[in-house]
């Protein structure tokens, strides 16, 4: 494992979330298989344009690198190629920033062809403006944090080659995106209710996916354990068929290169009918994490989708009864407890019924077979046979656009 020193500058733009941001940087470093051997923090009015930290702190950093025999310095701020070169000249070791660190973790996690292409696109977009003057740094091939992934062999190519590569990747991703769009449209046309899991990284989305659908999605106590989106069918106890989609987690200061590269993946969440916002109820920085996710939903134009907040990891709370939620509607669960499946399912059904409209439908006795099909598409609360006119009265809840809500004739219904 590489020995890493973290550097953070607390100034007027970041002082509110600075301690949490540094703690997160340490977690990211450990996820990238680095070990933190030192930390340097400086309080300033503004960042130094040349080296971010002042001359005195830079000398202090060089001494710390030497004393700890560190392999790398990671800044909690985005740095330019020129800044990286100037700092490297002083500290005599590799220097990367938070964005490179996150890109590196994504490179480790990408398993599907699409995921690998998306990471490569993000890496190339990050490298392109940093090619000038990188010389020595970019010639360093081999392993280590910040050099993994498909982008590493392209570091010494010229701008034109990288631009050509970006164009080719975008073209390939476009084909995948069109395939995803066809799959989404097919689900939409089939009137299947779609639910998406979103939330801060490591909040427990994949574990909830496993709990509800009995799949064996990779779920570990790691940042960005899930990178490739996964959609599974999930029939509710009443028979209504839904789909559940697990997606990549969010994080503070998510690199814009990643948001751009992962557009097609994020589209999976944009088209859902209900979002489950999974929150780590034990996190000391819970309110900031909630705020980050909500702001990203605004940025991604997903703030119109109804949200149910799922407070997870209740088993790690000292006292569940004293837990105070901040977002509504919500439920409190532990995704590792089988009993939580009923709690979460009940909360989802309640939320769905609030989104739907109540309906009543009269079916001829000869059409009673349609009730079974109807239960797969809407909530059928009750149905009874009316002997006087040989019909069935069906009551339930259905989406606003449903034919049952619009009161069309039953021979025009589609199941």
203 annotated among ligand-binding-site residues = yes
Assess contact for 138 and 155: CB atoms under 8 A: yes
Assess contact for 351 and 306: CB atoms under 8 A: yes
407 annotated among ligand-binding-site residues = no
189 annotated among ligand-binding-site residues = no
206 annotated among ligand-binding-site residues = yes
Assess contact for 202 and 293: CB atoms under 8 A: no
Residue 180 to residues 177, 268, 285: CA-CA distances in angstroms? 5, 8, 35
Q: Which of 7, 70, 74, 81 is nearest to 44 (CA)?
A: 7
63 annotated among ligand-binding-site residues = no
Residue 413 to residues 226, 239, 312, 404, 405: CA-CA distances in angstroms? 39, 18, 40, 8, 11
219 annotated among ligand-binding-site residues = no
Assess contact for 68 and 38: CB atoms under 8 A: yes
310 annotated among ligand-binding-site residues = no
- For the chain, first and last CA: distance in Å? 57
Residue 100 to residues 95, 201, 399: CA-CA distances in angstroms? 10, 17, 44
Assess contact for 233 and 213: CB atoms under 8 A: yes
122 annotated among ligand-binding-site residues = no
70 annotated among ligand-binding-site residues = no
E strand or H helix that includes residue 175: helix 159-189
Assess contact for 286 and 259: CB atoms under 8 A: no
227 annotated among ligand-binding-site residues = yes
225 annotated among ligand-binding-site residues = yes
328 annotated among ligand-binding-site residues = no
199 annotated among ligand-binding-site residues = yes
356 annotated among ligand-binding-site residues = no
Taking the C-alpha atoms of residue 346 and residue 348, their distance in angstroms, rounded to an integer, is 5
247 annotated among ligand-binding-site residues = yes
CA angle 398, 402, 406 (to 5 degrees): 105
73 annotated among ligand-binding-site residues = no
397 annotated among ligand-binding-site residues = no
146 annotated among ligand-binding-site residues = no
Residue 109 to residues 25, 227, 255, 309: CA-CA distances in angstroms? 18, 6, 16, 26
Assess contact for 115 and 228: CB atoms under 8 A: yes
200 annotated among ligand-binding-site residues = yes
210 annotated among ligand-binding-site residues = no
Which residues are known binding-site members?
199-206, 224-228, 246-249, 312-315, 334-336
Which residues are known binding-site members for GTP?
199-206, 224-228, 246-249, 312-315, 334-336
Which residues are known binding-site members for Mg(2+)?
206, 226
């Amino acid at each position: 494992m590489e020995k890493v020193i973290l550097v953070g500058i607390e100034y007027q733009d970041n002082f509110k979330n600075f301690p949490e941001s540094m703690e997160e940087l340490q977690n990211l470093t450990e996820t990238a298989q680095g070990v933190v051997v030192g930390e340097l923090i400086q309080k300033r009015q503004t960042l130094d344009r040349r080296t971010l930290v002042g001359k005195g702190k830079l000398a202090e950093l060089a001494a710390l690198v030497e004393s700890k025999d560190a392999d790398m310095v990671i800044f909690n701020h985005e740095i330019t190629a020129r800044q990286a070169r100037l700092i490297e000249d002083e500290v005599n070791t590799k220097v990367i920033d938070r964005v490179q660190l996150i890109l590196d973790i994504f490179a480790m996690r990408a398993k599907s062809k699409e995921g690998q292409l998306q990471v490569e696109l993000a890496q190339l977009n990050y490298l392109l403006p940093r090619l000038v003057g990188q010389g020595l740094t970019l010639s360093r091939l081999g392993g280590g944090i910040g050099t993994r992934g498909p982008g590493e062999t392209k570091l010494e190519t010229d701008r034109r080659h990288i631009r050509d590569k970006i164009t080719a990747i975008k073209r390939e991703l476009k084909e995948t995106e069109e395939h995803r769009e066809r799959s989404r449209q097919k689900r939409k046309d089939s009137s299947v209710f779609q639910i998406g899991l979103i939330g801060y990284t490591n909040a427990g989305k994949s574990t909830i996916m496993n709990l509800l659908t009995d799949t064996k999605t990779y779920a570990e106590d790691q940042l960005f354990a899930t990178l490739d989106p996964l959609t599974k069918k999930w029939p509710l106890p009443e028979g209504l068929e839904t789909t559940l989609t697990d997606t990549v987690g969010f994080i503070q200061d998510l690199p814009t290169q990643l948001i751009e590269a992962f557009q097609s993946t994020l589209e999976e969440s944009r088209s859902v009918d209900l979002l489950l916002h999974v929150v780590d109820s034990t996190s000391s920085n819970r309110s900031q994490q909630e705020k980050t996710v909500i702001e990203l939903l605004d940025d991604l134009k997903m703030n119109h989708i109804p949200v149910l907040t799922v407070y997870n990891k209740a088993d790690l709370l000292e006292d569940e009864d004293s837990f105070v939620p901040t977002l509504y509607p919500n439920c409190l669960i532990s995704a590792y407890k089988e009993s939580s499946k009923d709690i979460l399912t009940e909360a989802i059904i309640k939320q769905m019924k609030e989104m739907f409209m109540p309906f009543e439908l009269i079916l001829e006795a000869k059409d009673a077979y349609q009730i079974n099909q109807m239960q797969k598409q809407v909530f059928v609360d009750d149905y009874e046979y009316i002997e006087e006119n040989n019909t069935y009265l069906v009551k339930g809840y259905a989406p606003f656009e449903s034919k049952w809500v619009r009161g069309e004739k039953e021979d025009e219904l589609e199941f």
